[in-house]
A and B are shown apart, each in its own frame.
Chain A
């Protein structure tokens, strides 16, 4: 898969090296505390993989980054701008934060190309020609140039998820969030999606990835975060976390996964 975008890597390091800064983030649903004092900084071009058992708060943390969930406490900054303040422009924020979900959520009535075009037209107000050009470019990037005119129902789950990635990329995001993007896929389809994610990482995209794919985490992550019970238990390089975990809970989790 050939990638054309290289602007993130080594672009602006001087101004601000921190792409996403999560400070003392907490989130409760009623009485239930889902996140407790979570602190994460994601550098520009960095790939952070978040691991943890279900219910550990990792998806909620991800959703707080583009305010799909409203934090109960703490601060989040994206490219130096606080998004948890009172007068955040949510639409503006979401333009720069792409997200891919476990369910592919394509528009069932639109072809792959139209799926990638729609938000460009409606949200970014791009012209039809420009949106189409970018859609074809992004579909090529995820290896689906020849499926541009197919409906979601005519595509495999893995192909649908790649269209969803192309749709997010077409919005020129500065950071991409992946929420268990391969969990709903049959095993044989997981690989194609992971390959796309890997090539994105290699092209220097800033990524926060919630996944259960340990192989991907080990190979692609710059940093691995292990969460449980709404707190960050341990973080470090893949080698540190996978080969020399310090905490028993991490060891237990990795033991279960293996």
Chain B
């Protein structure tokens, strides 16, 4: 147990060393102000923490709320779709057509309708997350064998028992997997939305620094955004491990 833990930590330490070394080498080889060295970045990062923190929280707030909203809407709809042939027959083609559309193209419309603050960003990311979770959970529910439900009914269980003890536990891992994959997309969409409109969030911070040709500051923003992604990914990983431990 302890050995496994140490090996894991060792793996992460190696990964960080590997990434930082690669970055350093690239920075030296490129020798361009656009890619500062890690040492320089850390200095700028430390110097800008006060400025960065509010931008970071704004972005974190937007992503977390969007992930929640998207998931909370998608899970029940997915369950209903998976259980009702009629509804699924009705929704499946709609889903099929809407799913591949990159939701980010709706940004200009949302900006016109909802203004420049949090609302258009949250709606856009929620939409992105919604479709990913919906498809993943619906397919996970479908993969539950019919006999699993029969077994619960044969034991005298109700429809709620069926949901609570069969459908929910068998779809929870799918929810977390789609969320972990979704974090990357969500942050990409967030960046574009913040870069395009408004004067808040890390996306704005990065593009503003870019336009001021303050590359170290820009890079500090990029690191902060990467950090946001890594932290969220790790949180979902931990949640999955503690809530879906049987896997």
Contacts and interface: CB of A to CB of B under 8 A. Distances in A.
Interface of A: 63, 66, 68, 91, 94-95, 97-99, 101-103, 105, 107-110, 118-119, 122-123, 151-153, 164, 167-168, 171
A119 B157 contact: yes
Contacts of A101: 147, 150-151, 154
B169 A123 contact: no
A68 B151 CA distance: 10
A109 B246 CA distance: 5
Contact of B166 (A107, A119, A164): A107
Contacts, number: 59
A91 B152 CA distance: 11
Interface of B: 145, 147-148, 150-151, 153-157, 161, 165-166, 169-170, 244-247
Contact of A109 (B145, B148, B155, B244): B244
Contact of A118 (B147, B165, B246): B165
Contact of B155 (A102, A110, A119): A119
A66 to B, nearest CB: 6
Q: Give the most central of A66, A108, A164: most B CB within 10 Å.
A: A108
A164 B154 contact: no
Given A105-B145, A107-B169, A151-B246, A123 B154 contact: no
Given A118-B165, A153-B246, A105 B156 contact: no
A108 B145 contact: no
Given A103-B145, A105-B148, A151-B246, A168 B165 contact: no
Nearest to B150: A68
Contacts of A95: 156
14 contacts: A66-B154, A68-B150, A94-B154, A99-B150, A101-B150, A101-B154, A105-B145, A107-B166, A109-B245, A119-B155, A119-B156, A122-B157, A151-B246, A167-B155
Contacts of B169: 107-109
B92 to A, nearest CB: 23
Given A118-B165, A123-B157, 11 more contacts: A68-B154, A98-B154, A103-B148, A105-B147, A107-B169, A108-B170, A109-B169, A109-B244, A119-B155, A153-B246, A153-B247
B246 A94 contact: no
A94 B151 contact: no
Q: Give the most central of A98, A99, A105, A119: most B CB within 10 Å.
A: A105
A109 B154 CA distance: 19
A243 B169 CA distance: 49
Nearest to A124: B156
A98 B153 CA distance: 11
Given A101-B150, A102-B147, A164-B151, A108 B246 contact: yes
Nearest to B166: A107
Q: Give the most central of A94, A122, A123: most B CB within 10 Å.
A: A122
Contacts of B161: 122
B107 to A, nearest CB: 40
A105 B151 contact: yes
A58 B161 CA distance: 28
Contacts of B170: 108
B153 A94 contact: yes
